[in-house]
Amino acid sequence: MAEAIKIFAICGSLRKGSYNRMALKVAAENLPPGMTLDQYDRLAEIPPYNEDVRQQGFPPVIEDLRRRIKAADGLLFVTPEYNYSVPGVLKNAIDWASRPPDQPFAGKPVAMMGASMGGFGTGRAQYHLRQTCVFLDMIPLNKPEVMIPQAQNKFDAQGHLTDAATLKFIQDLMVALAAWTRRLKA
Ligand SMILES: Cc1cc2nc3c(=O)[nH]c(=O)nc-3n(C[C@H](O)[C@H](O)[C@H](O)COP(=O)(O)O)c2cc1C
């Protein structure tokens, strides 16, 4: 039987009808054998980063975020693209979690994907996110790159994915993340 691996997933959109949240749901429904997925649900609670606050100790919501990152074998970021970059709420969460001591991202295998209404499917945001992963010593999976353009044409009104090629990309990403995580754990 495949060794169990725990993935912690963060979606960078707070929107109820988020395409990125829909894409994450597809990933959660298409896990390879032995993989579990913890979906982060507290992004909206995270305050704007303030070093003065941090000096007094991490707020409980950040302690919880850091604990969940630490407990995971690997990470999955599902990011929208805002103005060619990562949405502030996602970057803010990463910034909070990244502060010492024992920054929890170090050494974590990480995969990413994203959906946008534009033509490039969050490619520019993902390359910015990869830069952040490098500084925080994460170990990003290179391929497949899952960039879902024109997301409004790929999900129906109920939020179901209707595009077979996108489903295959997401399935392939999760299989690759499982293999990457097992390889780095070995
Ligand atoms: C502040 C802002 C900036 C955006 N910038 C981009 C962009 O640079 N590229 C792009 O393809 N879409 C951009 N969009 C459109 C998003 O792709 C679209 O809102 C998408 O639905 C966001 O993801 P979500 O559905 O998961 O919330 C932007 C949207 C917002 C609100």
In tens, the pLDDT along 52-88 reads: 999 999 999 999 999 999 999 999 999 999 999 999 9
Mutate to test the pocket of ligand 1, among 14, 22, 78, 81 (most ligand atoms within 8 A of CB): 81
Ligand 1: centre distance to CA 144 (Å) = 22
Confidence of residue 3 (pLDDT cuts 50, 70, 90): confident
Mean pLDDT of 89-110: 98
Q: Which residues fall within 8 angstroms of residue 145, CB to CB, at 6 or more apart?
A: 123, 126
Cα distances from 181 to residues 54, 67, 143, in angstroms, run 31, 19, 13
The secondary element (H helix, E strand) that includes residue 38 is: strand 35-39
Is the Cβ atom of 79 under 6 angstroms away from ligand 1? no
- pLDDT digit string (tens) for 100-124? 999 999 999 999 999 999 999 999 9
Class of domain 5-185: alpha beta
CA distances from 143 to 46, 92, 136, 179 (A): 30, 26, 20, 12
13 lines ligand 1 (CB under 6 A): yes
Question: What is the structure's pLDDT at 17?
Answer: 97
Atom of ligand 1 nearest to the CA of 122: 11
Is 148 in contact with 113 (CB distance < 8 Å)?
A: yes
Region 150-176: mean pLDDT is 97
From the CB of 117, is ligand 1 less than 6 Å away? yes
Share of the chain above pLDDT 90, in %: 98
Protein residue with least CA distance to atom 22, ligand 1: 80
pLDDT attached to residue 2: 73
- pLDDT confidence of 135, banded at 50, 70, 90? very high
Confidence of residue 21 (pLDDT cuts 50, 70, 90): very high
Does this model's pTM top 0.85? My answer is yes
Whose C-alpha lies nearest to ligand 1, atom 8?
83
For the chain, domain boundaries: 5-185
pLDDT at 57: 97
Atom of ligand 1 nearest to the CA of 80: 23
Residue-level pLDDT at 1: 64
Mean pLDDT for all residues in the chain: 97
